[in-house]
Amino acid sequence: DAGVTQSPTHLIKTRGQQVTLRCSPKSGHDTVSWYQQALGQGPQFIFQYYEEEERQRGNFPDRFSGHQFPNYSSELNVNALLLGDSALYLCASSKGNPLVGEAFFGQGTRLTVV
């Protein structure tokens, strides 16, 4: 089992550009969540997808959008990039009751905005 895979691993973009990050969940998982982790901070929840719908959203602007495909893989899109969007973007997959289930995280995509 490959676990959660994210691509690309590193990315450099220019301010104002748009970026798409990709995530393949762990086999058998149907729920995908995205987190942003700034340097030295804990991960912050962006949103979660289940059955191709956004189920919950954190305190992030509309520039952050996502999508989940029928095979449960997911994309995170960020428009009009700002320098402050530079961070590690983490994808987590899960299945079943979130109270007792564990989330599996990918290695993340390191985004640098210059």
Would you say 20 and 75 are in contact if contact means Cβ atoms under 8 Å apart? Answer: yes
Q: Which is nearer to other proteins, 72 or 105 (CB)?
A: 105
Candidates 24, 26, 48, 78: give the one binding other proteins (CB under 8 A).
48
The three-state (H, E, C) secondary structure of 61-86, written as one string = CCCEEEEECCCCCEEEEECCCCHHHC
Minimum CB distance to other proteins, residue 99 (Å): 5
Cis previous bond, 98, omega within 30: no
- Nearest residue (CB) to other proteins, 52 versus 80: 52
Q: What is the binding site for other proteins (CB under 8 A)?
A: 4, 31, 33, 35, 41-45, 48, 50, 55-56, 58, 90, 92, 98-100, 102-108
